[in-house]
């Protein structure tokens, strides 16, 4: 029961997954289940089980056995930030750190592309950001500005909702593969399940960014 209570008490993760869409949970489940040691399948949609499994992925295996649980999501974000060489201050807002991680991963990917591929990928990112805002009903200038406060995360969210179309675009489909663990080796994610925790942080950050934008839109009666 301790690991269940630990998961429920993770205020940065469990309540967020309770508000996630089926598409978002499906994407996260696909990422987590790609690890051979995963205790869930890609069909899992339970927010509590997703939380527990990701917490387990974020902790050292030996330490997990001693604690009989993993680590909280905020620690996972700190570890991922360190892994991808992103500055992470304890004073930073969590979504700010998630956004910096998304920016770094996207930049690292773009640096591996040719000039023409980079131009194409940037266009796909812009289109996905715009589509994500339209999907959330962000229409006026004020809402569009706040809705773009985490553009990298919202663009990742666009990849989730348009994954079928995205997969058909080679340069974007390859990045989609990175997010689902198919081509995670490109970034050499090694160690404590980084092939899971890095893309998982991008997905969870995109959910957080979507909810923040939708909340703002609702407050201005859009």
pLDDT of residue 2: 64
pLDDT of residue 35: 82
How far apart CA 98 and CA 183 sit, in angstroms, is: 21
What 8-state DSSP symbol labels residue 71? -
pLDDT of residue 183: 54
What 8-state DSSP symbol labels residue 140? S
How far apart CA 220 and CA 218 sit, in angstroms, is: 5
**In total, how many domains does the chain have?**
1
pLDDT of residue 92: 79
Show the tokens assigned to 52: 């527990």
Domain carrying residue 202: 2-219
Which pTM value belongs to this model?
0.89
Q: Where are the beta strands (DSSP E) in 135-207?
A: none
Residue with token string 């569009």: 144
pLDDT of residue 61: 45
Among residues 63, 62, 64, the alpha carbon closest in space to that of 53 is found at 64
Residue with token string 């991680």: 101
Averaged pLDDT, groups of 10, the chain, 222 residues long? 85 97 96 86 97 85 51 92 87 91 94 95 91 71 61 92 92 89 53 80 95 81 55
Show the tokens assigned to 132: 């994500």
Q: CA dist 68 to 11, 61, 79, Å?
A: 19, 10, 20
Render pLDDT for 163-222 as a digit per residue (tens, 0 to 9): 999 999 999 999 998 888 765 444 445 554 788 899 999 999 999 999 988 887 777 755
Alpha helices in 35-169 (DSSP H): 47-57, 61-67, 73-83, 94-110, 115-135, 141-147, 151-161, 163-167
């Amino acid at each position: 029961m301790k690991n269940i209570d630990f998961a429920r008490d993770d205020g940065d993760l469990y309540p967020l997954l309770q508000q996630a869409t089926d598409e978002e949970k499906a994407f996260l489940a696909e990422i987590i289940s790609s690890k051979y040691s995963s205790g869930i399948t890609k069909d899992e949609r339970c927010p509590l089980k997703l939380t527990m499994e990701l917490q387990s992925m974020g902790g050292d295996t030996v330490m997990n056995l001693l604690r009989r649980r993993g680590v909280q999501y905020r620690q996972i974000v700190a570890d991922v930030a360190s892994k991808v060489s992103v500055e992470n201050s304890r004073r930073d807002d969590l979504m700010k750190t998630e956004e910096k991680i998304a920016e770094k991963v996207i930049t690292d990917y773009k640096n591996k592309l040719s000039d023409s591929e980079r131009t194409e990928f940037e266009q796909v990112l812009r289109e996905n950001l715009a589509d994500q805002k339209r999907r959330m009903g962000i229409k006026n200038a004020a809402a569009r500005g706040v809705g773009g406060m985490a553009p990298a995360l919202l663009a990742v969210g666009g990849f989730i909702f348009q994954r079928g179309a995205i997969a058909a675009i080679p340069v974007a489909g390859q990045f989609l593969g990175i997010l689902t663990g198919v081509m995670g080796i490109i970034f050499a994610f090694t160690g404590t399940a980084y092939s899971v925790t890095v893309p998982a942080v991008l997905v969870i950050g995109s959910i957080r960014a979507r909810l923040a934008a939708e909340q703002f839109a609702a407050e201005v009666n859009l």
